[in-house]
Structure 1
């Protein structure tokens, strides 16, 4: 045989989405591993030579996975259970693989019958790959060899709690690829090299022009341009839907998030003497919309789901007043009782009187009159803990200006969100609202000069003054380009999930009053 076809299938940023449901109300959603599984089986039936890769952020993101990680690790990780049955060839670590702590990470790796790849996560003592397996080689008849090299964004230490990644060094993925790809082509005699990189693109795929701040978080474009002998780049992290694209001859794909799409790369190969070369290739996205989920597969995790659903429906207490979210834009433009409640809980748990938090996405429903755990985790979707850091008044002003840049400059008509917070990836979680200070945002002014009032206890905030502020661990590390918070003194660490803090408050008080104190205002 002098020709063959290879299909590479990619999932990425599934975020624990197994069932086609919205956990806020169990309504049906066109997402999830159950639906993706049907597509995978269909593709394998059409082309037996399939390579199946998960590109990271697998084990965090839904209440089911939260419940499992916090209360149910006596059983195998449900994502590993499903992916084992689906016959994944490998998985790559994503940044959210570390959120639940080292034990949860290692548990998922142990439960998986496929290898987890991380060429640039190095052991700080030995300098070797921390998890042992930087790549896989898979051989297909008649003797065709494909290599998959796993890489992760080097930004992990910026976001993650240090105790979750102790002993790990995150090397630059581009430099790591430059070291490994020649080895894979030479020593391992790989005909084709695929990089599965949990990261995205910081530049326009066609022009190469920057599309976001060049921080090094998303080096996909650089990988394609600088790494020789690279054939395919499987990407993720940004939750973008990318297909049909090539960069410097490298075929790229990115399948969104939550199992809404399956990424597919098709390689046409021909034998040139003793070597196989690519004669044609393309990438595409296969939507799960309208696809019937694989119920036989989902039976493997139905018992996990039942336990999580029971936990989610446990009653906690009541809300006196209205804490529902009807318009997320309004929540960000004027003070809302949900944000006030979260900030107040953070202040109480930490013992400081300045706090900041965000409305993480546009799907947050708010809290109904009768509150269950389902309502808590539907609004606070990340397993964050809290840190109190000491910042200057200048840092505070800079952070508020960063948040104020969330909006476009107002010139009339409705207020709009800045493109930098929606493209290429929605970043609604990067607009903070503060409690404990009084401030005013003027959207008619240019970015960087929109805070026209900033007071603490009735006095102007001193730019050289020192203030203790509580925030989640992601923000305290500088996540979301809040670089003014990075490496600031940590006054207190509160190692309790914010969801648990909220739930405990409702259980203790039984009734929570929905109220605001109007400490900030947005004007046009």
Structure 2
């Protein structure tokens, strides 16, 4: 065989091999990974406020979903303050985090009530957590509290999710803090969400994420503003306003799952090429669910079995709504603290009072924040300035208050008008002067008991039944 024929033979064999390889290949080209649909289910809770009973049902629902798809579990903030089993545990808040760890939560945004126990306990609860805490507009500074992630990227098999955390900062007219006790966040720096959100506009691109979610504790209006002004997010999962919410603003879906663990939000997503192809939402009413995780329910029952909370300390002759409780609260503090006047902010009354025996649990539910108590000596003029300038409404006891044109008139219980120079002792929970500090003097007498402990002590010492058929002792300057 001459050299030329040999070269033709090699060329022929090469062509045959190439054709053979081509015929074995698939008819359609391989689809890039980002073009394959990716499926995810997100379960969310918000504004749980210490309520733990339905966690056993949540675990059952989530475990079943994990058998068939990728699952992400998140909290929209305010895990604490509202259940004495959690709030009065020797390690405040411990049962809440323990149960969330066992369920397998992935992330939680810091809510305003996460600061209610003070920095010492927040530090412990964050260190206890097996999930990520996110909040971009807080700097823990020298508080010893671990710094949360500004955002956290979590991968669930083939889908990558970035979560940015934001907390509201409407706790003080002349400051930038969340709606919590100002003295408990004095070593922490906050920024308004709208001042820093633009810094995180490129997170999705930088992290190469399939989804970018705002895990928000800004409330319904805050989430709408976020969607309108910072449209970087694929969706927003919110909290703070206790809303049952499934809406869309500026093309961005916004969800919120009620409060007090009565509901579980379920978001089902299909993502293709980093965009939401389909999305559906279900608000699961947990009180209608019968299936539960038996092991977790046993643990919850153990946490709930605190005998001291069932101690009977008084009797309520009727059902009292929040307004009626406001009158009872201020009377109890005024009498027990032996002062002339008592005020209570409406937001500090967190529960009604049922007819029948009153237990310690009920008082801790009415006022769950472990606020201290203080006594001030103030002139009537100082009290008027506080009522005119605070912009808030208060229940009160010991005086009569009426608005006259743009002024405030204060009378004693015998209906005598009190002149501006008259001095009165004012007893109240220490949250009020902490928020409205410019209206209170520096002569505070700090008391040894919290407001809840003061009311419990009052009930234990009186033989009178609690009976407030109406409450007409509320004032807010118009």
Partner SS state of residue 487, structure 1? helix
Task: Give the gaps of 5 or more residues in structure 1.
Answer: 20-31, 203-218, 404-431, 442-447, 479-484
Are 1:395 and 2:393 counterparts? no
Matches of 2:427 and 2:58 in 1, distance apart? 40
Partner SS state of residue 410, structure 2? strand
Partner of 2:256: 254
Matches of 1:113 and 1:155 in 2, distance apart? 29
Contact preservation (8 Å) 1:400, 1:451: no
TM-score of the pair, normalised by structure 1? 0.71
Contact preservation (8 Å) 2:341, 2:397: yes
Partner of 2:60: 38
Partner of 2:91: 73
Say which of 319, 326, 335 aligns to 1:326: 319
Q: CA deviation at 1:199?
A: 1.9
How far does the alpha carbon of each residue in 1:497-522 deviate from its partner, in whole angstroms, 9 at most, with x for none? 21111222334x26346578x99679
Are 1:454 and 2:410 counterparts? yes
Give me the CA root mean square deviation. Answer: 3.5
Q: CA deviation at 1:125?
A: 6.4
Q: How does 1:73-472 map to 2 (within 5 A)?
A: 73=91, 77-124=94-141, 131-142=147-158, 144-156=159-171, 157=177, 159-182=179-202, 184-202=203-221, 219-243=222-246, 245-271=247-273, 276-292=274-290, 293-306=292-305, 308=306, 310-316=307-313, 318=314, 323-326=316-319, 328=321, 332=323, 339=326, 341-348=328-335, 350=337, 352-357=339-344, 364-366=352-354, 368=356, 371-388=358-375, 392-395=382-385, 397-398=387-388, 403=393, 432-439=394-401, 454-456=410-412, 458-462=415-419, 469-472=426-429
Aligned length: 427
Distance change in 2, residues 1:197/1:496 (3 Å): farther
How far does the alpha carbon of each residue in 1:345-368 deviate from its partner, in whole angstroms, 9 at most, with x for none? 423565531112367669522574
Distance change in 2, residues 1:140/1:371 (3 Å): closer
Q: How does 1:57-72 map to 2 (within 5 A)?
A: 57-68=78-89, 72=90
Q: CA deviation at 1:453?
A: 5.8
Q: CA deviation at 1:398?
A: 3.2
TM-score of the pair, normalised by structure 2? 0.78
Which is higher, the Rg of structure 1 or of structure 2? 2
Higher mean C-alpha deviation, range 173-182 or range 355-364? 355-364
Distance change in 2, residues 1:101/1:339 (3 Å): same
Say which of 40, 45, 48 aligns to 1:14: 48
Partner SS state of residue 289, structure 1? helix
Task: Give the gaps of 5 or more residues in structure 2.
Answer: 1-32, 172-176
Distance change in 2, residues 1:163/1:228 (3 Å): same
Contact preservation (8 Å) 2:40, 2:268: yes
Partner SS state of residue 201, structure 1? helix
Q: CA deviation at 1:378?
A: 4.2
Matches of 1:515 and 1:281 in 2, distance apart? 51
Distance change in 2, residues 1:267/1:489 (3 Å): same
